[in-house]
Amino acid sequence: MRIHLKTLGCRLNEAELESWARQFQAEGHTVVTDVGLADVIVLNSCAVTADAVRKSRQTLSRLHRENPTAKLVVSGCYATLQPEQVRQSLGVDLLVGNADKDRLVEITRQSLNLTTAPAFAAEPGESVLFRLGRQRAFVKVQDGCRYRCTFCIVTVARGEERSRTIDDVVAEINALHRQGIPEVVLTGVHLGGYGSDLGLRLDELIRAVLAQTSMPRLRLGSLEPWHLPPVFFDLFNDPRLMPHLHLPLQSGSDSVLRRMARRCKTAEFAALVAQARAKVPDIHISSDVIVGFPGESEEEWRQTLDFVQQIGFGQLHLFSYSPRQGTKAADLPDPVPETVKKARCRSLQAMAHGLKRQTLQSHLGRSHPILWEGQREHLSNGKIRQYGYTPHYLRVAVDLPPDHADLCATIRTGRLERLEGDDLLIGSL
């Protein structure tokens, strides 16, 4: 059978999709990028915001419209939180909730009566990810979260924490490396809580991956700024662990953080960043901020601006708060007017642009090993521009002669020479 896979939302959804791709292929099915050629379409949906729910609904309709004869399988947070709405959607043949995600391929095979072929029917040694144009794999190491931030619907949709064993994670990463994949990203709903159900810690998992695999580059997904032991930053002594951490802040005001039920005050966050930079001087710290949380006053907003400037994030993702039914924040008083949210987003975005530019400029004149990706662009001067990422997850491009070999999925050192626009480093090999 020909399987088309589509995901929306977070990196955890990406990791699950990639796992399904490998499982489908191992059963002899073919993963196709063209939805029109598919016999079965699998959508991993998202519901982190009201806009994500809307996009999930629209994607369902589009997929059915583009291939009305294909069987349509839906999973993910939208499918889990609003199953009846999904079941009533045109064309949906099967719904698999988050609790059964690990068995999605098995459930799909049984429910839709898919025929299977021996594992060797899959093209030997060919990674599904490469055929989809990918050079890094997302590896899901845990699911669920024991905490209940008042704005977060994902913890409701994902349930309690569940961790994979170290042996299981190591085996998957070794299999990916044998397929030629040079970088993996460890990801989870609450990555820092890895092992809470197994009597383990995240740093133990990372040490095992570094010791028991030869994966050239290991990266960490979004990591909540708590549960990190003092020895955590010693892990970065191994150059294969990439010097980039995404630590969600959400607000720079302690009173807003209390209403969010966040477990990290601003002073603790600042101390963690200082510790990271002392141990890993070159580390790149990025973060998330929610703008316009209920009751956010002008003073609280000013505290957030001041704190963001104080920390000096290399990159910032901004989210304008929108209420999600089923969360405590949806019932909080004093909503911030949309006009105020937009104005605050603009002011913080301007600050974030300036901080990011400073980070990029600090790397000019330096050389880094760069993982070159599949994206290539033909320039008007006849050259080919190829893109990649530094260990710090800074985007780089190099302009090559038209007859130059494709660098895709290789790690080659590049010297960073100039900044183009707001966010692209231009270099040379």
Q: What is the mean pLDDT of residues 104-117?
A: 83
Q: Residue 396 pLDDT > 70, yes or no?
A: yes
* pLDDT, tens only, 228-262: 888 999 999 999 999 999 999 999 999 999 999 99
Please give the CATH architecture assigned to the domain spanning 133-361.
Answer: Alpha-Beta Horseshoe (3.80)
Q: Residue 389 pLDDT > 60, yes or no?
A: yes
Determine the pLDDT at residue 86: 86
Q: What is the mean pLDDT of residues 119-123?
A: 37
Determine the pLDDT at residue 115: 65
Determine the pLDDT at residue 133: 52
Buried b (16+ CB within 10 A) or exposed e, 31-53: bbeebeebbbbbbbbbbbbeebb
Q: Residue 4 pLDDT > 60, yes or no?
A: yes
Q: pLDDT band at residue 9, thresholds of 50, 70 and 90?
A: confident
Q: Residue 324 pLDDT > 90, yes or no?
A: no
Q: pLDDT band at residue 25, thresholds of 50, 70 and 90?
A: confident
CA dihedral 212, 217, 223, 229 (to 10 degrees): 50
* pLDDT, tens only, 174-205: 999 998 899 999 999 999 999 999 999 999 99
Q: Residue 149 pLDDT > 90, yes or no?
A: yes
* pLDDT, tens only, 281-300: 999 999 999 999 999 999 99
CA distance 394 to 220: 15
Greater model confidence, 170 or 11: 170
Greater model confidence, 125 or 240: 240
Q: What is the mean pLDDT of residues 337-344?
A: 96
Closest by CA to 126, choosing from 181, 183, 185, 184, is: 181
Determine the pLDDT at residue 124: 35
pTM of the model: 0.84
Determine the pLDDT at residue 241: 98
Q: Residue 119 pLDDT > 80, yes or no?
A: no
Q: pLDDT band at residue 171, thresholds of 50, 70 and 90?
A: very high
Determine the pLDDT at residue 116: 54
β pairing state of 217-220 and 183-188: parallel
Q: What is the mean pLDDT of residues 412-428?
A: 95
Closest by CA to 180, choosing from 138, 137, 231, is: 137
Whether 5 contacts 29, CB under 8 Å: no
Whether 386 contacts 333, CB under 8 Å: no
CA distance 357 to 354: 5
What's the mean pLDDT when you consider all of the chain?
91
Determine the pLDDT at residue 196: 94
Query: Of 13-27, 98-112, 125-139, 318-332, which gets the smallest average pLDDT?
Result: 125-139
Q: What is the mean pLDDT of residues 374-392?
A: 92
C-alpha 195: how far from its chain's center? 20
Determine the pLDDT at residue 355: 96
CA distance 381 to 273: 43
Q: Residue 120 pLDDT > 80, yes or no?
A: no
Q: What is the mean pLDDT of residues 97-126?
A: 71
Phi, psi of 279 (to 5 degrees): -85, -35
Q: What is the mean pLDDT of residues 346-375?
A: 95
Share of the chain above pLDDT 90, in %: 73
Q: Residue 49 pLDDT > 90, yes or no?
A: no
Q: How far is CA 307 from CA 245, 303, 352, in A?
A: 18, 6, 12
Fold adopted by 2-121: Rossmann fold (3.40.50)
Q: pLDDT band at residue 26, thresholds of 50, 70 and 90?
A: confident
Determine the pLDDT at residue 209: 98
Residues 6 or more apart in contact with residue 120 via CB below 8 angstroms: none
